[in-house]
Structure 1
Amino acid sequence: MRFQQLQDWLEWQESCHPREVELGLERVGSVASAMAISLNHCQVITVAGTNGKGSCVATLNALLLSAGYRVGCYTSPHFLHYNERVMLNGLPVDDATLMHSFQRIDDARAATPLTYFEFGTLAALDIFQRSHLDVAVLEVGLGGRLDAVNIIDADIAIATSIAIDHQDWLGLDREQIGREKAGIFRAGKPAISAGFNPPASLRTVAQECGADFYQAGEDFQFENGCWSGTNISGQSIECVNLPEPQLPKESVAAAIQAIHLLPLATANIDFACVNTVQLPGRFQQIKINGKPLILDVAHNPAAANYLAERLQAQRCEGRTFALISVMQDKDLDGIVAALTAEIDAWFVADQPNNDRAMPSNQMTTVLSQHNINKFEVGKDIQQAYQRVLSLMEEGDRLLVFGSFFTVAEVLMLQGDAAKFTNEGNS
């Protein structure tokens, strides 16, 4: 084996391709072909979208596991441990399983260069192929049409809400971005649109490729504790007396619709479990030394607007502090505009070891443009985090947001995330 430690494998993978992102299916598809990777033995649900993908995957996983089905989930990025990306029956795979898969990929690729993400995607598919699954749930990393996940034909494709993000790769407007996301649709297979205001391109692509299109608000909906939609036989069905989910309802509704389009029995699925499904970094509420924190990976204006709604619905007695650090390619102006009214004091943090992070002076310039004068700057997330905790008084709360990197670092600063007093992750 090339390496004996998982971390060594991961560091080596980061150097195997000159670009961090290299969209396209030819290279990764050729390696998958050499490995004879196929998920034909199980049902495949692929989830794309700008926001809400992780919530949809988590809901699918919980519902299927509640009935005893064998489920594999592939997601990215991870928070604390790489193994989180590949889950089997609700548990992350171990280091040895990942390393043996990486070695098989290395043997098969010959001189073909692969990105870090492509290595991880092939490893997940390889592991799922060997795991006798009933359902594999695959989350798209970037876009859809040219994402490595799309080398596998989805039996059911889900597009969650579509917003402006990753314009350099996907296009400058929602219609172009929607067309890229809809690249996971397949002829004769269900294609589910979870957003209530989707770009028209989703339906257009479904019609062009011959997919069976299901639109939220038209073909299925979740209101007042009742989900209604269509089953695999085309019959109208309902799930009643459902509790309010903690995750975004549109992602949950799409997951329930997908479940009913699988050729699997649904009688034993506990649909009421939707209110217990939790996901790190999605309005995740914890306490540190009695001080309430909200952790959210919101990194685009649409996600920030949703975050603002959650903050408005859950007022606090004192002040709301914010610790923010975002990546350079994000629309910070739109993010700040969405949250200005909900935040009393801002703390901006540099990420000196992250080349993708937006410098603090750039972030503070945006804050100033919004007439925000109450802010402090930390040389790194740790310093900013410790500073804001020292200023918090009883009744105050802290919002940590802006990227997966930001939330992950705060989690790592606490050591074992399991030590947190959890008050309902979402």
Structure 2
Amino acid sequence: MRFDKLQDWLQWQESCHPNEIELGLERVGNVAKAMAVSLSDCQVITVAGTNGKGSCVATLNALLLSAGYRVGCYTSPHFLRYNERVMLNGFPVDDQTLMKSFQRIDDARAETALTYFEFGTLAALDIFERSALDVVVLEVGLGGRLDAVNIIDTDVAVVTSIDVDHQDWLGSDREQIGREKAGIFRVGKPAISAGLNPPASLRLAAQECGAEFYQAGQHFQYDDTRWSGTNLSQQTVEYSDLPEPRLPRESVAAAIQAIQLLPLPVAGTDYAILNDIQLPGRFQQIDIKGKQVILDVAHNPAAASYLSRRLQSQVCRGQTFALMSVMNDKDLDGIVTALNATIDSWFIADQPNNNRAMLASEMAAELAQHNIESIDISKNIQQACQRVLSLMEKADRLVVFGSFFTVAEVLTLHDAQNGHHQEQHQE
């Protein structure tokens, strides 16, 4: 084996390809073919979108497991451990399983250069291929059409809400971005649109490729405690007395619809667990040094608006502090506009070990443009977190947001305080 430690494999993968991202299916498809990876023996659900993908995947995973199926889930990025990206029946795979797969990929690729993300995607697919699963849920990393997971033909495609993000790769408006996301649709297969206000390009792309289109608010809906939608035989299905889900209702509704469209018996699904399904960094509430902390990976205006609504719906007797650090390609103006009315004091930080992070001085300048006066700058997230916690009263709350990196740093602090192990994170 090339390496005997997972961390060594991951560091090597980061240097294997000159670009961090190279969209396109030919290289990764050829390697998958050489490894005889197709997932043709199980049902595949592929989830793309700007916001809400992770919540949709987590809901699918939990509900399918409750129905007694063997389930594989591939997501990215991870928070604390790389293994989180590849889940078998609700548990992350172990280091050995990943390393054996990496070695098989290394052997099969010959001279083909693969990115860090492509290595991880192939490893997930390879592990799933060998695990006798009933259903595999694949989360698209970036876009859809040219993302590595799209080498697999999906049985049910889900596109969650779409916002302008990753413009350098996907296009400058929602219509262009919608078309890229719709690249996961397949002829004769269900294509689910979870957003209530989708770009027209989604429906158009489904028509062009001959997919069966299901639109939230039209073909399925989730109001109060009732979900209604359509099954594979085009009959109406209804579930009532459902609990309030912890994850965004839009993503949960689409997940339930996707399950109805699988050619599998789903009568045993336990919808009572909707209130228990959680996801790290999605309005995750933790306690650090006796203070209330809310972690949310919101990193674009639509996610920030959703976060703002959640914060406003929750009673807070004290002040709301923000700890924010974003990547330099994000729409900070839109993020701040969405959250400004909800935040009393802003704490921002540099991320010295992350060359994709926006400088704190740039973030401060943007906050000043919004006439925000209470701005505190730290040299790193750890320092910012310690500073804000020391100033908070019991009734106050701290909201940490801006990127997966930002949330992961605070989660790492929290886990270190509680004696848990963590490792390097890559978004």
CA distance in 2, matches of 1:51, 1:155: 22
Partner of 1:117: 117
Q: CA deviation at 1:381?
A: 0.4
Q: Which amino acid aligns with 2:277?
A: V
Say whether residues 1:297 and 2:302 are aligned partners. no
Partner of 2:202: 202
Contact 1:296/1:401 (8 A) holds in 2: yes
Contact 1:322/1:400 (8 A) holds in 2: yes
CA distance in 2, matches of 1:220, 1:138: 22
Deviations 1:383-416 (A, max 9, x none): 1010000000120000000000000011111235
SS of the counterpart of 1:17? Answer: coil
CA distance in 1, matches of 2:123, 2:231: 33
Partner of 2:100: 100
Q: CA deviation at 1:419?
A: 7.4
TM-score by length of 1: 0.98
Q: Which amino acid aligns with 1:35?
A: M
Q: Which amino acid aligns with 2:351?
A: Q
Say whether residues 1:260 and 2:256 are aligned partners. no
5 Å-filtered alignment, 1:198-277, equals: 198-277=198-277
Q: Which amino acid aligns with 2:23?
A: L
Name which of structure 1's ranges 281-290 and 52-61 shifts more when overlaid on structure 2: 281-290
Q: CA deviation at 1:366?
A: 0.4
Partner of 1:398: 398
Deviations 1:296-327 (A, max 9, x none): 00000000000000000003101000000000
Name which of structure 1's ranges 1-10 and 262-271 shifts more when overlaid on structure 2: 262-271
Q: 1:166 to 1:417 in 2, by over 3 A?
A: farther
Q: CA deviation at 1:219?
A: 0.2
Partner of 1:56: 56
Name which of structure 1's ranges 259-268 and 91-100 shifts more when overlaid on structure 2: 259-268
Q: Which amino acid aligns with 1:173?
A: D
Deviations 1:20-71 (A, max 9, x none): 0100001101111111111000000000000000000000000000011000
Contact 1:186/1:211 (8 A) holds in 2: yes
Say whether residues 1:71 and 2:61 are aligned partners. no
CA distance in 2, matches of 1:417, 1:25: 43
Partner of 1:374: 374
SS of the counterpart of 1:299? Answer: coil
Partner of 2:42: 42
Q: 1:243 to 1:417 in 2, by over 3 A?
A: farther
CA distance in 2, matches of 1:417, 1:57: 29
SS of the counterpart of 1:11? Answer: helix
CA distance in 2, matches of 1:418, 1:73: 27
Say whether residues 1:287 and 2:291 are aligned partners. no
Q: Which amino acid aligns with 1:294?
A: I
CA distance in 2, matches of 1:415, 1:176: 40
Partner of 1:179: 179
CA distance in 1, matches of 2:415, 2:260: 40
Say whether residues 1:328 and 2:331 are aligned partners. no
Say whether residues 1:385 and 2:381 are aligned partners. no
Partner of 1:424: none
Q: CA deviation at 1:262?
A: 0.5
Runs of 4+ aligned structure 1 residues displaced above 6 Å come to 417-420
5 Å-filtered alignment, 1:128-139, equals: 128-139=128-139
Partner of 2:410: 410
Q: Which runs of 5+ in 1 are unaligned?
A: 421-426
CA distance in 1, matches of 2:278, 2:357: 27
Partner of 2:14: 14
CA distance in 2, matches of 1:86, 1:224: 33
Contact 1:245/1:277 (8 A) holds in 2: yes
CA distance in 1, matches of 2:377, 2:389: 14
CA distance in 2, matches of 1:222, 1:318: 33
SS of the counterpart of 1:414? Answer: helix
CA distance in 2, matches of 1:40, 1:418: 43
CA distance in 2, matches of 1:8, 1:330: 31
Partner of 1:348: 348
SS of the counterpart of 1:37? Answer: coil
Q: Which amino acid aligns with 2:192?
A: I
SS of the counterpart of 2:253? Answer: helix
Contact 1:190/1:261 (8 A) holds in 2: yes
Q: Which amino acid aligns with 1:396?
A: D
Partner of 1:314: 314
CA distance in 2, matches of 1:270, 1:207: 34
SS of the counterpart of 2:121? Answer: helix
Give the percent of matched residue pairs that are identical in Structure 1 and Structure 2: 75
CA distance in 1, matches of 2:128, 2:418: 27
Contact 1:411/1:417 (8 A) holds in 2: no
Q: Which amino acid aligns with 2:72?
A: G
Deviations 1:357-392 (A, max 9, x none): 000111001000000010110000011010000000
SS of the counterpart of 2:108? Answer: helix
CA distance in 1, matches of 2:340, 2:415: 31
Partner of 1:166: 166
Deviations 1:226-275 (A, max 9, x none): 10000111101101110110100010000000000011111111012111
Q: Which amino acid aligns with 1:240?
A: S
CA distance in 2, matches of 1:166, 1:106: 29
CA distance in 2, matches of 1:416, 1:97: 26
CA distance in 1, matches of 2:222, 2:156: 20
Q: Which amino acid aligns with 1:11?
A: Q
Partner of 1:142: 142
Q: 1:382 to 1:417 in 2, by over 3 A?
A: closer
Q: CA deviation at 1:289?
A: 2.1
Q: Which amino acid aligns with 1:199?
A: P
Contact 1:299/1:335 (8 A) holds in 2: yes
Q: 1:18 to 1:191 in 2, by over 3 A?
A: same
